[in-house]
A and B are shown apart, each in its own frame.
Chain A
Amino acid sequence: DTGVSQDPRHKITKRGQNVTFRCDPISEHNRLYWYRQTLGQGPEFLTYFQNEAQLEKSRLLSDRFSAERPKGSFSTLEIQRTEQGDSAMYLCASSLGGGGRRAYEQYFGPGTRLTVT
Chain B
Amino acid sequence: AQSVTQLDSQVPVFEEAPVELRCNYSSSVSVYLFWYVQYPNQGLQLLLKYLSGSTLVKGINGFEAEFNKSQTSFHLRKPSVHISDTAEYFCAVSITGGFKTIFGAGTRLFVKA
Contact = CB atoms under 8 A, between A and B. Distances in A.
Nearest to B90: A42
Contacts of B42: 110
Interface residues of B, number: 25
A108 B100 contact: no
A108 B106 contact: no
B46 interface: yes
Interface string B34-52: 1010000111111001010
Q: Which of B51, B97, B103 has the most CB of A within 10 A?
A: B103
Interface residues of A, number: 28
Interface string A37-57: 000111111001000000110
Interface string B1-26: 00010100000000000000000000
Interface in B41-74: 41-46, 49, 51
B101 interface: yes
Nearest to B94: A104
Q: Which of A42, A43, A91, A101 has the most CB of B within 10 A?
A: A42
Contact of B101 (A45, A55, A110): A45
A32 B94 CA distance: 15
B103 A109 contact: no
Nearest to B32: A104
Contacts of A43: 44, 90, 103
A28 interface: no
A47 to B, nearest CB: 9
Interface of A: 4, 31, 33, 35, 40-45, 48, 55-56, 58, 91, 93, 95, 99, 101, 103-111
